Amino acid sequence: MRFIGINGGTFDPIHYGHLRAALEVMQKVGMEQVRFVPCYQPVHRGTPSVSARQRCDMIALAIEAQPQFVLDSIEIDRGGPSFMVDTLAQLKQQFADEQTSLVLMMGTDAYAKFCSWHNWQEILNLANLVVMHRPGEKLDLHGAEAKLFAEREVKQFSEACGQVMELAITQLAISSTAIRADIEQGVLPDYLTPYRVCKYIQKQGLYGALAKDS
């Protein structure tokens, strides 16, 4: 089977937490590629701080040295609320052969609310899930998510959809929220995100950064 990772998020901005997690999951599952899918209109949170174009530009700068990482603007091109189930249905048509498995990647924070996602049952008909968690910590799930996890958990994907895999990744306590707050205070996110992303933030004056020409 051929595995294609789907890494959805706001990426406002992208940082090394996203990038390292994507790399480790790709290597552990044996994925052919990971598609970074920035949302257009988030469903469970407010409007992003910068434009879709700027979030895409930063992703492109961050992943350019890794040919297996692909920027996919499918949700931005579609417009409207970014429901992951719609994205997966579209991608399923794009990768129509039966040998391809779409693997939706998410952190434990996202998985803990998975059963509140729009049409989540259908998501399991379209993709497998990888839940990324802190090494050394127990996956702390409750209610419907815990039940779903217990029923579907596997160590290796044997089906093209409907299975859930838990993977420990190197924990990098980096978040876009903290990065935005720092920039507002005049601190650039050096070493939290690739150099070229930092430069772009500075040049474009994003998140309240002072624009610089150099």
Q: Which two tokens stand for residue 39?
A: 């949302």
Which of 3, 5, 6, 11 forms a contact with ligand ATP (CB under 6 A)? 11
User: How far apart, in whole angstroms, are the C-alpha atoms of residue 190 and residue 2?
Assistant: 36
Residue 22 CB, nearest approach to ligand ATP (Å): 8
Our finding on whether 193 is near ligand ATP (CB under 6 A) is no
Interface of this chain with ligand ATP, residues 89 to 148, rule: CB under 6 A:
106-107, 109-110, 132
Residue 83's identity, in one-letter code, is F
Segment contacting ligand ATP (CB under 6 A): 15-23, 78-86, 140-148, 184-192?
15-23
Q: Which of 8-16, 83-91, 113-121, 146-154 is the region at the interface with ligand ATP (rule: CB under 6 A)?
A: 8-16
Distance CA 39, CA 144 (A): 25
Nearer to ligand ATP, 37 or 212 (CB): 37
Closer CB to ligand ATP, 44 or 147, in the complex: 44
Residue 150 token pair: 């217990």
Contacting residue, 5, 6, 12, 55, with ligand ATP by CB under 6 A: 12
Binding to ligand ATP, residues 16-35 (CB under 6 A): 17-18, 21
In this complex, which beta carbon is closest to ligand ATP, that of residue 12 or of residue 57?
A: 12
Q: Beta 2-9 vs 33-38: how paired, if at all? A: parallel
Query: Is residue 10 within the footprint of ligand ATP (CB under 6 A)?
Result: yes
C-alpha 105/C-alpha 83 separation (Å) is 15
Stretch touching ligand ATP by CB under 6 A, among 88-96, 151-159, 173-181, 182-190: 173-181
The 3-class secondary structure across 165-203, one letter per residue, is EEEECCCCCCCHHHHHHHHHCCCCCECCECHHHHHHHHH
The distance of closest approach from Cβ of residue 107 to ligand ATP in the complex, given in angstroms and rounded to an integer, is 2
Task: Identify the residue among 68, 90, 119, 175 touching ligand ATP (CB under 6 A).
Answer: 175
Task: Give the amino acid at 27.
Answer: Q
The string over 2-36, giving b where at least 16 C-beta atoms fall within 10 Å of a residue's C-beta and e elsewhere, is ebbbbbbbbbbbbbbbbbebbbebbeebebebbbb
Binds ligand ATP (CB under 6 A): choice among 9, 31, 56, 85: 9
Which of 66, 64, 59, 88 is CA-nearest to residue 75?
88
Q: Which residues bind ligand ATP (CB under 6 A)?
A: 9-12, 17-18, 21, 106-107, 109-110, 132, 172, 174-177
